[in-house]
Chains A and B, each alone.
Chain A
Amino acid sequence: MPFTAPIETYSGRIVEVKIGVEPNVVTLGGENTFPLYGFEGEVPNKPVIAMEVYDNNPVDWVDAVKAPFADVLGDPAAWAVKCVKEYGAEMICLQLASTDPNGDNKSGDEAAATVKKVLDAVAVPLMVYGTDNAEKDSEVLPKVAAAAEGRNIALGPATEDNYKTVAAAAMGFNHNVVALTPCDVNLAKQLNILLTQLGLPHERVIIDPSTGALGYGLDYTYTIIERLKLAALQQGDEMTKMPVVANLGVEVWKTKEAKTGDTAEWGDQVTRAVSWEIMTAVSLATAGANLLIMRHPQAVAGVKKALGAFFK
């Protein structure tokens, strides 16, 4: 008897979120099936990779990941240009590390000026991320939103503690909101309910479920993403059908495996660390992440190759 593979159909569809302005727009989501299940439905947009740019000089980074950016560290605009021109970035994620109250504690105005410089330097879509300090982000992100008016950026993180401020800023200047919750599927849904209750449309919300790197909680993130997509696709849940971002670069490059130098036992650091970032990114894309925030150009190239093969 010939074998017929079972085909599932789903009632729900992930909404499409568009970031950037024509002709430089990326579209996240839009699928009505799971990743790699193209035979069951449509995956119109493969996962997008955004390369990280920091607004400060990241002195604590290891050389293995500083080297590709050696000539632009501390100059976010030049850094962004390098990511686009040399490393083929289709999107940039500007991490506002300098605004950290426990670090340089730069003001919202200074952050907004940096955002403006980066936007003037590159045309690709931009995500701007604060330091997940609810109070400080509430001061910084509205200024960023104003500075980025007309560029349709992704702005975050909006959390349970400051979502009203962040959403209001995003709605006022027509941006998208990245909603961050601490590794809990119920809380992720809850924040989406709260955001949409404010009048923010579904297609302006991106879910950040918190990310664990390979060996450091990747399985938790994987499960949460999968559960969100299951609810959206199988149960038609309106409050989980937003695309998902995995902010993984920062997590991968915190790990011992990425930070330890060349050793006899573990071999070459760059190969190891880049592999770690690739494994983390590909796994999360397999779970259903629609946007991957990545750091090392070699890892970006590797993941691009893999995604090109997976998402035909």
Chain B
Amino acid sequence: MIIVGEKINVISKEIGAAMKARDPKPIVEMALAQADGGANYLDINIGPASKDGPQLMAWLVETVQSAVDLPLSLDTTNAAAMEAGLKVHKGQALINSASGAPDRMHTMLALAGKYNANVIGLTMTEKGIPRDANERMVIAYDIMMAAAEHGVPVENIFLDPLILPVSVAQNQAMEAIEAIRMFKQLSDPPLKTIVGLSNISNGTPSETKPVLDRVYMIMLVEAGLDAAIMDPLDEELAAVARSLPQALSDSLDQLQSETNLARAVKIFQNDMLYAHSFMD
């Protein structure tokens, strides 16, 4: 499992302030902590960064890569900032992300081709979020075709089925998992897949998050997931992510013996109606 550490994010109070002030210390500390936690990539999320995006992204890439020897996931919808980051990035970066919306798809894939970067293909379009695995598959196919146009090799693509919060879109949990299985059929050798894991428990009570995240991760790995954007400092979750797939092969059965985990499985499979107190 490839772990993309998600903690360098403009939304974080401390990190956001450090980005604004160009204060390297909190950012470098967070980078080192995540590297220690076993992250394979570090996500650098600057949001839309409409004001000084290019300058900020370039500064962040240089600051982080001066401290840790890891490739970065450049996370912004701002194409100029993306390119500024790619220009100074050492090694092979990950573009986060292209989507099925034509503008964003072609701009980001062109950059992936130009800088020989990896790229996340988020299976949504300007029309909104896909309703099921089949719609995700259609968008994935479009992204794959466009990637070929821009000279991006298949092995540089990570498809993201878009995880939605189980508390508001319960029937989508298995659709995303099914999409991962289907993405694997798109090419040979198969495309890589990635998810933003914490989306699944967005909006659920904090005591349920570890259960939901862990169980869903196991189900995703079983379906063939290659990478996750997640918190590498969450040791239990990271342990699940690092476990070998064969060790997980019968883990779903094992889960049945533990009530809360079994309930989480049922919730994702839509065999039990979600409620915030589902563990009680």
Binding site for B on A (CB under 8 A): 185-187, 189-190, 193-194, 197, 227-228, 231, 235, 237, 239-240
Residues of B within 8 A of A186 (CB): 167-168, 170, 273-276
Give per-residue flags for B239-280: 1 if the beta carbon is below 8 A from chain A beta carbons, else 0: 000000000000000000000000000000001111111001
Q: A189-B274, A237-B273, A240-B273 are in contact. List 5 more A-B contacts (CB 8 A).
A: A186-B168, A186-B273, A190-B276, A193-B277, A235-B273
* Docked complex Cα distance between A185 and B272 (Å): 12
B271 with A193: CB separation less than 8 A? no
Partner of A197, one of B168, B271, B274, B280: B280
B277 with A194: CB separation less than 8 A? yes
**Shortest Cβ distance from residue B166 to the other chain A in the assembled complex, whole angstroms:** 9
Partner of A190, one of B170, B272, B277: B277
Interface centre among B272, B274, B275, B276 (most CB of A within 10 A): B275
Provide 16 A-B residue pairs closer than 8 Å at the C-beta atoms, listed in order of the A residue: A186-B167, A186-B168, A186-B274, A186-B275, A186-B276, A187-B275, A189-B273, A190-B275, A193-B280, A194-B277, A197-B277, A197-B280, A231-B272, A235-B272, A237-B273, A239-B275
**Shortest Cβ distance from residue B245 to the other chain A in the assembled complex, whole angstroms:** 30
**Shortest Cβ distance from residue B181 to the other chain A in the assembled complex, whole angstroms:** 24
A185 with B273: CB separation less than 8 A? yes
* Docked complex Cα distance between A186 and B276 (Å): 8
Partner of A227, one of B167, B272, B273, B276: B273
Which residue in chain B gives the minimum CB-CB distance to A231?
A: B273
A-B CB contacts (within 8 Å), total count: 33
A contact patch SS: helix
* Docked complex Cα distance between A231 and B272 (Å): 7
* Docked complex Cα distance between A258 and B275 (Å): 36
A193 with B275: CB separation less than 8 A? yes
* Docked complex Cα distance between A219 and B274 (Å): 21
Which residue in chain A gives the minimum CB-CB distance to B266?
A: A235
Give per-residue flags for B164-182: 1 if the beta carbon is below 8 A from chain A beta carbons, else 0: 0001101000000000000
**Shortest Cβ distance from residue A79 to the other chain B in the assembled complex, whole angstroms:** 38
Residues of A within 8 A of B271 (CB): 235
Which residue in chain B gives the minimum CB-CB distance to A185?
A: B273
Residues of A within 8 A of B272 (CB): 231, 235, 237
* Docked complex Cα distance between A132 and B192 (Å): 51
Which residue in chain B gives the minimum CB-CB distance to A192?
A: B275
**Shortest Cβ distance from residue A277 to the other chain B in the assembled complex, whole angstroms:** 30
* Docked complex Cα distance between A239 and B274 (Å): 11
Residues of A within 8 A of B167 (CB): 186
**Shortest Cβ distance from residue A21 to the other chain B in the assembled complex, whole angstroms:** 33
**Shortest Cβ distance from residue A137 to the other chain B in the assembled complex, whole angstroms:** 22
**Shortest Cβ distance from residue A132 to the other chain B in the assembled complex, whole angstroms:** 21
Which residue in chain A gives the minimum CB-CB distance to B167?
A: A186
Give per-residue flags for B35-57: 1 if the beta carbon is below 8 A from chain A beta carbons, else 0: 00000000000000000000000
* Docked complex Cα distance between A193 and B273 (Å): 12
**Shortest Cβ distance from residue A190 to the other chain B in the assembled complex, whole angstroms:** 4
Residues of B within 8 A of A189 (CB): 273-275
**Shortest Cβ distance from residue B98 to the other chain A in the assembled complex, whole angstroms:** 33
Give per-residue flags for B135-176: 1 if the beta carbon is below 8 A from chain A beta carbons, else 0: 000000000000000000000000000000001101000000
* Docked complex Cα distance between A237 and B273 (Å): 8
Which residue in chain A gives the minimum CB-CB distance to B271?
A: A235
* Docked complex Cα distance between A187 and B204 (Å): 12
Which residue in chain B gives the minimum CB-CB distance to A234?
A: B271
Residues of B within 8 A of A187 (CB): 275
* Docked complex Cα distance between A189 and B276 (Å): 9
**A-B pairs, 8 with minimum CB distance:** A189-B275, A190-B275, A231-B273, A193-B277, A190-B276, A186-B274, A189-B273, A186-B275
* Docked complex Cα distance between A235 and B263 (Å): 12
Which residue in chain B gives the minimum CB-CB distance to A232?
A: B273
* Docked complex Cα distance between A240 and B273 (Å): 9
